Amino acid sequence: MQNRRLVAKFGGTSLADAGQFAKVKEIVLADAARKYVVVSAPGKRDSNDTKVTDLLINLAVACRDNENKEAALEAVVERYASIAKDLHLGKEIVKVIKDDLVGRMAKYSDNYGMFEDLLKAAGEDNSAKLVACYLQSIGENAEYIDPKEAGMILSNEFGNAQVLPHSYELLAKLAERDTIMIFPGFFGYSEDGDVVTFSRGGSDVTGGILAAAVNADVYENFTDVDFVYAANPKLIENPFPIPLFTYEEMRELSYAGFSVLHEEALAPVYKKGIPVNIRNTNNPDAPGTFIVPDKTAPK
Ligand code: ASP
C-alpha cells in the first residue's frame, strides 16, 4: 500500500503576507503526508489591495506601451521583498525574484497573449521559490519544483490552457522524491517550451492535476473560509455551512455561478475518485467541506 499522500493547494489570501506564509508553514509541517504543496501568487492583504497577478498584468501592459515600466516592476518586487524581509530571509531571494522579472520583461514579443502569460506566471513561480526558501531557512527538506522539468505540459492556448494527457505520467514521477515539493500553480509549458497559463484562478487546476497524477488520498484546497456555505458569507449573515457535496452537486453549483473551486479543477480528481477538502488556512482545525464521488463512499 502506498503511503498517505496529500496535495495541499494554498490560494492567494493564504500567501498575502509573511504572517500568512507562517500559517502555511505550520499547516505543511503538521502532517508528513502533506508533501505536495501548490501555491498561488500573493493575493490581497485587504479589500483595497491588488493581487500580485494583477500587478503583473499591469507590468505586461507597461512593457507593451513602453510606459511606467520601472514603477510597475517595483510594485511587484516590493510585495515579495516585504514578505522576505518579514520572514528574515535576506536579500538574495529578492534579487533572484527581481532578476527573474527583468529577464521576463526582456522577452517582450509582439505576441502579447504569450508575453502576458509569461509575466502572469511569475506570480506563482516566485511565490513557490519564496515558500521553498522559507522552509529551507528553518531547516526543512523542501524544494521548489520547476513545472517544466516536472512535466506540466499544456496546450498552447494562452490564458486558457488545457493539460495535455501525457503530463500525468510525467508528474507521477514526483512521488519518487522524499522532499516537501513546492509547486507553482496556474501555469505550465507548451510543447514548444513557452509558458502558458490556465484561466484566472487556475492554481486550483494545477492542484487537481497533481492530485490525480500522484494518486493523492485527498486534494486539500486551503482558502479563507471554514466551509463552503449555502450563500456568500460576505453578503449574508450566518449562512448555512455545507460539510459534504458530491462532485455532481458541485458541478451543478459551478454552472450556476457559485464559485468555490475553479470549474476545471474537479475533472482530473473526478476520474480517480479523489476527495477534495476545502479548508481554511486561518482556521486549520475546522474540518472544512468535502467534495466526494458520492455520499455513501468512505472518505
Ligand atoms: N494568481 C492567479 C489568479 O489570480 C491564479 C490563482 O490564484 O489561482 O488568477
Residue closest via CA to ligand 1's atom 2 equals 201
Question: Residue 297 pLDDT > 90, yes or no?
Answer: no
Q: What pLDDT score was predicted for residue 222?
A: 98
Q: What pLDDT score was predicted for residue 1?
A: 67
Pocket test for ligand 1, best of 80, 116, 117, 203 (most atoms within 8 A of CB): 203
- The mean predicted confidence, pLDDT, of the chain is 95
Q: What is the dihedral of CA 138, 85, 55, 198, to 10 degrees?
A: 0
Q: What pLDDT score was predicted for residue 122?
A: 98
Question: Residue 40 pLDDT > 70, yes or no?
Answer: yes
Classify strands 195-197 and 142-144 as parallel, antiparallel or unpaired: unpaired
pLDDT tens-digit readout, 155-182:
999 999 999 999 999 999 999 999 999 9
Question: Residue 244 pLDDT > 80, yes or no?
Answer: yes
pLDDT tier, 233 (very low <50, low <70, confident <90, very high otherwise): confident
Q: What pLDDT score was predicted for residue 44?
A: 98
Question: Residue 257 pLDDT > 80, yes or no?
Answer: no
Averaged pLDDT, 50-60: 98
Averaged pLDDT, 80-92: 97
Question: Residue 57 pLDDT > 70, yes or no?
Answer: yes
Q: What pLDDT score was predicted for residue 215?
A: 98
pLDDT tier, 298 (very low <50, low <70, confident <90, very high otherwise): low
Q: What pLDDT score was predicted for residue 113?
A: 97
Q: Which atom of ligand 1 approaches the CA of 204 most closely?
A: 8
Q: What pLDDT score was predicted for residue 120?
A: 98
C-alpha separations of 21 from 43, 248, 274 in Å: 12, 33, 27
Do 212 and 163 meet the contact criterion of CB atoms below 8 Å apart? no
- Report the percentage of the chain scoring pLDDT > 70: 97
**Residue showing cell 521559490:** 129
**The three three-digit cell numbers of residue 297, written as one number:** 463512499
Rounded distance between C-alpha atoms, residue 193 and residue 120, angstroms: 16
Q: Which atom of ligand 1 approaches the CA of 199 most closely?
A: 9
Query: Three-state SS string across the chain, please?
Result: CCCCCEEEEECHHHHCCHHHHHHHHHHHHCCCCCCEEEECCCCCCCCCCCCHHHHHHHHHHHHHHCCCHHHHHHHHHHHHHHHHHHCCCCCHHHHHHHHHHHHHHCCCCCCHHHHHHHHHHHHHHHHHHHHHHHHHHCCCCEEECCHHHHCCEECCCCCCCCECCCHHHHHHHHHHCCCEEEEECCEEECCCCCEEECCCCCHHHHHHHHHHHCCCCEEEEEECCCCEECCCCCCCCCCCEECEEEHHHHHHHHHCCCCCCCCCCHHHHHHHCCCEEEEECCCCCCCCEEEECCCCCCC
Do 15 and 23 meet the contact criterion of CB atoms below 8 Å apart? no
Kindly state if the Cβ of 187 falls inside 6 Å of ligand 1.
no
Residue 66 CB partners (closer than 8 Å, separation 6+)? none
d(CA 3, ligand 1 centre) in Å: 30
pLDDT tier, 30 (very low <50, low <70, confident <90, very high otherwise): very high
Kindly state if the Cβ of 184 falls inside 6 Å of ligand 1.
no
Reported as half-sphere exposure (CB side, CA atoms, 13 A), residue 112 has a value of 9
Question: Residue 299 pLDDT > 70, yes or no?
Answer: no
Kindly state if the Cβ of 5 falls inside 6 Å of ligand 1.
no
Q: What pLDDT score was predicted for residue 91?
A: 94
Q: Name the pTM for this structure.
A: 0.96
Kindly state if the Cβ of 123 falls inside 6 Å of ligand 1.
yes
d(CA 187, ligand 1 centre) in Å: 10
